[in-house]
């Protein structure tokens, strides 16, 4: 069987719709609402909000791992082995990310003190907002921009928009924080974002951009001596 990008793209779109039919009505507004509260708490309390931040996103990623990392394997196996092989990078990365979130509960590496981050770092804010909004996209037809997606979009239900938001937040004070989690999310953004866009899923174009930006920080950022001392 030859790989057909259009088949993969359509199957991906149907998988997204299937998840929303199962979890979207309750899950979407719940995840949006809790995320907004947690982020506001981070802006207000900084590292004092680390525990609720980590607990919430650990649970969120365990859900994403369960649906996109486990159930999706069986879904793609039915579509065809070649499509499953193409998809396999996603469950592997989701497994590593979920494990890293669990470890973060005990390691306490994430730094949420945003008081002293450079002003130019806030240029990532449009991508964070895009991930939270994640406008409805009808495969092969185009976007449907609705204000209601600020509460009922696929954010929290799909790894891509969820990673956009969290990775975007992590870039604000990089290199402080959990480097392993940052690196894994960067790899996920670059690999999975590129794959989904190439198969026609255009909402993930900003996902590639945040991946490239994060990779740039990893490769070219030169931490000050004070940063190095804090990390060590």
Instruction: Tell me the pLDDT tens digit for each residue of 9-66.
Output: 889 999 999 999 999 999 999 999 999 999 999 999 999 999 999 999 999 999 999 9
- Provide the pLDDT for residue 144: 92
- Could you tell me the pLDDT band of residue 230, with boundaries at 50, 70 and 90? very low
pLDDT category, 183, cuts 50, 70, 90? very high
What phi and psi values does residue 31 have, to the nearest 5 degrees? -70, -40
d(CA 58, CA 98): 7
Residue 131 and residue 155 in contact, taking contact as beta carbons nearer than 8 Å:
yes
CB-neighbour burial class of residue 187 (10 A; exposed 0-12, middle 13-18, buried 19+): middle
- Binned at pLDDT 50, 70 and 90, residue 1 comes out as low
**What is the CA angle 115-118-121, rounded to 5?**
110
- How far apart are the C-alpha atoms of 70 and 57, rounded to whole Å? 18
Nearest to 196 by CA among 41, 90, 76: 90
- 228 or 180: whose pLDDT is higher? 180
Q: How many CB atoms lie within 10 A of CB 27?
A: 17
pLDDT band at 148 (very low <50, low <70, confident <90, very high): very high
The overall pTM is greater than 0.85: yes
* Average pLDDT of every residue of the chain: 92
Find all residues with CB under 8 Å of 193, minimum gap 6, and list them: 160, 204, 205, 207, 208, 211
133 preceded by cis ω (within 30°)? no
Q: How far is 82 from 4, CA to CA, in rounded Å?
A: 9
Rounded Cα distance, 122 and 119, in Å: 6
Closest to 162 (Cα-Cα) out of 45, 51, 34, 50? 34
Separation between Cα atoms, residue 59 and residue 225, nearest integer Å: 35
Contacts of 136 (CB under 8 A, 6+ apart): 143, 144, 145, 146, 149, 153
pLDDT at 126 exceeding the cut of 90:
yes
Of 83-87, 138-142, 185-189, which range is least confident?
Answer: 138-142
What is the average pLDDT across 203-218?
96
Q: Are 185 and 214 in contact (CB under 8 A)?
A: yes
């Amino acid at each position: 069987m030859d790989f057909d990008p259009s088949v993969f793209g359509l199957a991906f779109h149907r998988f997204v719709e299937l998840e929303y039919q199962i979890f979207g009505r309750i899950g979407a507004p719940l995840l949006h609402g809790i995320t907004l509260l947690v982020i506001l708490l981070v802006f207000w309390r900084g590292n004092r909000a680390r525990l609720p931040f980590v607990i919430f996103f650990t649970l969120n990623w365990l859900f994403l791992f369960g649906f996109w990392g486990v159930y999706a394997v069986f879904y793609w196996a039915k579509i065809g082995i070649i499509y499953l092989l193409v998809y396999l990078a996603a469950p592997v990365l989701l497994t590593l990310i979920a494990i890293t979130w669990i470890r973060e509960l005990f390691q306490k590496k994430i730094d949420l003190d945003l008081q002293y981050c450079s002003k130019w770092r806030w240029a990532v804010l449009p991508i964070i907002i895009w991930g939270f909004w994640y406008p409805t996209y009808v495969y092969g037809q185009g976007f449907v921009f609705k204000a209601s997606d600020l509460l009922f979009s696929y954010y929290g239900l799909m790894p891509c928009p969820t990673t956009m938001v969290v990775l975007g937040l992590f870039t604000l004070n990089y290199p402080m924080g959990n480097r392993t989690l940052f690196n894994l999310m960067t790899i996920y953004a670059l690999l999975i974002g590129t794959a989904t866009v190439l198969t026609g899923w255009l909402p993930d174009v900003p996902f590639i951009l945040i991946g490239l930006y994060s990779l740039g920080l990893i490769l070219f950022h030169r931490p000050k001596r004070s940063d190095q001392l804090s990390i060590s």
